[in-house]
Amino acid sequence: PEEAGAAVAAESSTGTWTTVWTDGLTSLDRYKGRCYHIEPVAGEENQYIAYVAYPLDLFEEGSVTNMFTSIVGNVFGFKALRALRLEDLRIPPAYIKTFQGPPHGIQVERDKLNKYGRPLLGCTIKPKLGLSAKNYGRAVYECLRGGLDFTKDDENVNSQPFMRWRDRFLFCAEAIYKAQAETGEIKGHYLNATAGTCEEMIKRAVFARELGVPIVMHDYLTGGFTANTSLAHYCRDNGLLLHIHRAMHAVIDRQKNHGMHFRVLAKALRLSGGDHIHAGTVVGKLEGEREITLGFVDLLRDD
């Protein structure tokens, strides 16, 4: 285990598979990662927890992309390891301060919606695929008129042949304004701005802002951290709330002995930027345990 821990620390910092002459041109001692503690996993055979520390200078400021590329980019393909899982990250405040974080946060959202002292109630429009934009907007109106604060697009509602994004945005905005006029409350619909390119994603967010709606949405794992951080910056500058969907998270975090724990993905999202994210549920069709899920909630709200 000591050898494996050292190999992980080296590969994710200054090491490679052989000695190279350029090693002499820098101070490797200053830049190398260090595996400083190893302990066996309780109740498991041949499983160990390795604690690895990295010098702060190895990471680009304000870049979740670079942070993950450094820490988990290559080491998961190591032949020497049967399986590897990133359980947690402890990030120093000096590095955290280089990130913008959520565009607005809980208090600003409540102020925008004028809703206090209770949870916000929303639902996802179903069937998520197959409705025309007009009928989709109709469903949004019925939900908001019936008392919900929000409705939302599902993760894969982007811009398909049966419902192009611009049509959906227009009909949803119409539904929001109609429901607001009839109820006297501020309403919203999470308009999914996720797209094939960053430019297209920002274009959709700009259109949402022009319509005057309060919130857009992004799939931060399938869309990528660079795209997500760009959208979070745009939302902060332009007064849009940003909802985050965690589509694809189970590919990364569901296996208990390989991949990455969701708490790491949650921390990454706090840095990259989002006002709220799916943190799992304790009821319903998807997996999740009560204590773990509530732990994610506390982590995401932590100062």
The least confident of 185-189, 274-278, 282-286 is: 282-286
What is 1-97's CATH number? Answer: 3.30.70.150
The residue ranges of every structural domain in the chain are 1-97, 106-300
pLDDT tens string 105-155: 999 999 999 999 999 999 999 999 999 999 999 999 999 999 999 999 999
How far is the C-alpha of 199 from the C-alpha of 227, rounded, in Å? 9
Is the pLDDT reported for residue 291 higher than 90?
no
- 172 backbone dihedrals φ, ψ, rounded to 5°: -70, -40
Counting residues of the chain whose pLDDT is more than 70, the rounded percentage is 98
pLDDT tens string 227-244: 999 999 999 999 999 999
pLDDT tens string 197-207: 999 999 999 99
Element (H, E) at 68: helix 64-72
What is 106-300's CATH number? Answer: 3.20.20.110
How far is the C-alpha of 260 from the C-alpha of 49, rounded, in Å? 13
Are the CB atoms for 251 and 225 separated by under 8 Å? Answer: no
The residues that are catalytic are: 126, 245
Average confidence (pLDDT) over 42-56: 94
Is the pLDDT reported for residue 17 higher than 80?
no
Binned at pLDDT 50, 70 and 90, residue 288 comes out as low
pTM here? 0.93
Q: 1-97 and 106-300: same fold?
A: no
Three-class SS string for 133-199?
A: HHHHHHHHHHHHHCCCCEEECCCCCCCECCECHHHHHHHHHHHHHHHHHHHCCCCEEEEECCCCCHH
The least confident of 212-221, 268-277, 281-290 is: 281-290
